Amino acid sequence: TFVVTDACIRCKYTDCATMCPTACFREGENMLVIDPTECIDCGICIPECPAEAILPDIDPLATPWLELNATYAAIWPEITNRKAAPADADAHRDEKGKFERYFS
Ligand code: F3S
């Protein structure tokens, strides 16, 4: 399965969700997550993300985000359409420590 990481926080470009053939993206206020029970490992979302926020679950950098994706995928609503990114999305693109700073 694939995993959305903290690089998505406050960027939320949503290009990923429009491409997913199984509609496995879920939308929170500051980021999207992938439902691991719906992801079919096609990888089509990976190159769509301008923030390079999506990683395969076997990537060590994805490990801290596995549980978060699974937990919030069960709570947050499905998203399949593109939405305008936050006006300051580009300013947050390469920012470090976003989870600690913004996630609620
Ligand atoms: Fe987030 Fe990238 Fe999708 S910034 S909303 S994972 S296109």
pTM higher than the cut 0.90? yes
Fold topology of 2-80: Alpha-Beta Plaits (3.30.70)
Rounded-to-integer distance, Cα 23 and Cα 35, Å:
9
Q: Which atom of ligand 1 is nearest to the CA of 54?
A: 6
**CA-to-CA distance for 104 and 68, rounded, in angstroms?**
12
Tokens of 41: 């490992």
Question: In 3D, which of 42, 31, 91 has the Cα closest to residue 65?
Answer: 31
Mutate to test the pocket of ligand 1, among 26, 44, 46, 54 (most ligand atoms within 8 A of CB): 54
Largest CA distance in the chain: 32
Domain boundaries, the chain: 2-80
Whether residue 103 is predicted with pLDDT greater than 90 in this model: the reply is: no
Decide if the complex's ipTM is over 0.90: yes
Say if residues 7 and 45 touch (Cβ distance below 8 Å): no
Tell me the pLDDT tens digit for each residue of 39-78: 999 999 999 999 999 999 999 999 999 999 999 999 999 9
Predicted pLDDT at 104 = 62
